[in-house]
Amino acid sequence: YCLVCSGLSERVPHKGMAQFQEMMRQQLESSMDAELEKLVDTVTGADRDVCMKDFKGFKNLFHRFLQVKGPSVEWIKIKRPPEDSIQPYDKIAARGLPDGVATSLNKLVVVKLNGGLGTSMGCKGPKSLISVRNENTFLDLTVQQIEHLNKTYNTDVPLVLMNSFNTDEDTKKILQKYTHHRVKIHTFNQSRYPRIHKESLLPVAANLSMTGQNADGWYPPGHGDIYASFYNSGLLDKLIAQGKEYIFVSNIDNLGATVDLHILHHLVSQPNGKRCEFVMEVTDKTRADVKGGTLIQYEGKLRLLEIAQVPKAHVDEFKSVSKFKIFNTNNLWISLPAIKRLQEQNAMDLEIIVNPKTLDGGLNVVQLETAVGAAIKCFDNAMGINVPRSRFLPVKTTSDLLLVMSNLYSLEAGSLTMSPKREFPTTPHVKLGSSFTKVQEYLTRFESIPDMLELDHLTVSGDVTFGKNVSLKGTVIIIANHGDRIDIPAGSMLENKIVSGNLRILDH
């Protein structure tokens, strides 16, 4: 509506501008409702019911999107969170664990956000099915971790996967392989929302089909959709009926997001009247994390501030490591009864993330999304826990993949832990160039993963390959000029080296 109104604002008397804008908003909502009705009419039965639930959520988001005027925060109102609202992990862990850890574990459900595809790493299908370590996928490692917990403590911690329409079918096929593991696995689908034309603000899709050009008309609306879709699926009520009290939610590609017994004990041991309903794990910012969301105090509530909400004049201030020292890892512990209460009261007021996209045909569209952590302000006694960096180990790129495949980490019962042989607790900074972007190409460039125990920084650019048993130490920069190739020979040891130009070692 902004595009429509701005074009006419000069021709409408100022006094009547508010009424005119309200009229335009109502007209757009009415047009959207009519288009959504047409889409619903193209299906019948259970599909129609699911579609109507999805569209109810979308209509609410669209209505709020049309009401938004300017940034969702006033910079002057932002305050540092109170000291006791973000606890250091060491303080939580110092309380120790009771003998009855199993009792706490039996109140827990592990939820993994599994809606993403592996396209950014050149893979087809769900990202969770990419092999990351010893032929184990993200999903394999998750199942191993929970099975280990259940066997060790004789508990019944279930795994719940929030799939999207992109990942649901492939994920369900693979779940059969875990039939005999000691983990109950449930799935539910997040909503399917219509992409909208940037100019007309009407749906792109002509019908509900997911084939051909029409497939581009739909998107999963971000992980903030977990609350509504979990509730709508019926699984939330089912788990509460089984005595479950908390979910531990994290991205499936964060290999550091394992169940932490100290945080769980802290949650379940609080007195009922003061029980914490929401914990966000945060960790200290480095220069690599300047865009990460942070916790602030806003109008008396703990709140997540994302870079998309920051007025342009204050973006540099937001990125400051000294002013905003922590960022959200998206590892969250949330009360199940509280989710149910807030959903039934329609009290989940999540900031809208407007995500502009250009489709393959060149059409400019808008996606309306929300973030799961933004709900922190809706829950009672919410808090942050400043956890060690080891609990944030996401694999977004092949540069991240190289770290987790290397001897920096050892793998035990599905969990990765930093090798005690590494003298520094921080991970090396790795930047692999465009020749390494796709997983298949990346794998062909390493005969074996180099020894990286003493590595601080690695930059690789151009056509570069690594032989077996290469060792990298300190700062190593390898740049093959355009048209040149560099082969690092088997058994090489590079320490604080810059290699550039053309280097090929041929066996005779």
Other CB atoms within 10 A of residue 64 CB: 15
Residue 222 annotated as binding site? yes
Residue 253 annotated as binding site? yes
Query: Which tokens hold the place of 190?
Result: 């997040």
Can you tell me the distance from the alpha carbon of 30 to that of 63, in angstroms, rounded to the nearest whole number?
10
Other CB atoms within 10 A of residue 145 CB: 22
Residues sharing a CB contact under 8 Å with residue 442, sequence separation 6 or more, in sequence order? 398, 401, 402, 432, 436
Phi, psi angles (nearest 5°) of residue 409: -125, 145
Can you tell me the distance from the alpha carbon of 450 to that of 435, in angstroms, rounded to the nearest whole number?
18
**Helix count and strand count (H, E) for the chain:** 14, 25
Q: How many CA atoms lie within 13 A of 189 on its CB side?
A: 19
Residue 145 annotated as binding site? no
Burial of 176 (0-12, 13-18, 19+ CB in 10 A): exposed
Residue 49 annotated as binding site? no
Query: Which tokens hold the place of 124?
Result: 């087809």
Residue 124 annotated as binding site? no
Residues sharing a CB contact under 8 Å with residue 130, sequence separation 6 or more, in sequence order? 118, 121, 123, 137, 138, 439
Q: What one-character-per-residue DSSP string does 141-187 give?
A: HHHHHHHHHHHHHT----EEEEE-TTTHHHHHHHHGGGTTSS--EEE
Which amino acids are annotated catalytic?
Answer: 396
Residue 7 annotated as binding site? no
Q: List, as residue ranges, the binding site for UTP.
A: 127, 190, 222, 253, 396
Q: List, as residue ranges, the binding site for substrate.
A: 223
Q: List, as residue ranges, the binding site.
A: 127, 190, 222-223, 253, 396
